[in-house]
Structure 1
């Protein structure tokens, strides 16, 4: 099967951004690469059916988010840790707030991490997140609330120069 040159251009242009999105969503580069690969395979199969190329990135990101949530539905009891026990050498990890925040984000349950990433990294509304993940708007709001509570308790606001609350793009306090 021959590949459409527009599909190849899309992958070349947006591949790195999709990997970054996958990394933030999944929490590690290996799962991110798997998410991107699976999503691009599905995009390739649907490429001719897409109405416009502008929809391609939204389609891929939706596939990635749904694939990610399907994985946590299957492995709800899996315990994710930052340190790998078999590894004798760890790469340099950024220090300070970024490291603390990354560890706190990685410590969230997969569903909570997904809604936080979609809201604050992708800047999606509750309705868009609910549609992407196939959950209700109320579930989105409760998962974000729980995730932010966990992040606030894991990352002390004092001494880091950050405020203790997060405001949504609509201006309401969370």
Structure 2
């Protein structure tokens, strides 16, 4: 499949999941201009790097990590640069939650209506009970564009970081907590 950058939503809904279409509806309702590339399922950061080349320069390669505390009573969605190492101890100290780990896929599906490999800030639109806290590494916001999946990993979206902060996140009703990761690197 040759990857091509398209403007806006797909021309047809054929073969598209309802949760993906809800993302396009949200972005269109908010007046967010976005570009889209369809591709094979992206399960690794390496696959995402190829997609990011198609999306173009200035797009933040973002890791989306779905985390929880040891008791699985508190859940977090962390957006961080793809090239930054993740250290649970460092994040735990900043958010006051000990023993963070990756949350089980059933919680991902229950709260965000997404599956592993498809984690996206846009999944927060499905967390109407506000069970998941949004954490954003401040370096994610330094890029001009933001890239993410539309709740499935066979498409990727690109829109301005300005729209992420000014339109998308407020509409998701999940106020972000800013964190700074990678401070222990020398």
TM-score interval for Structure 1 and Structure 2 normalised by the shorter chain: under 0.3
Higher relative contact order (CA closer than 8 Å, sequence separation 6+): 2
In terms of fraction of residues, the more helix-rich structure is: 1
TM-score after normalising by structure 2: 0.25
TM-score after normalising by structure 1: 0.26
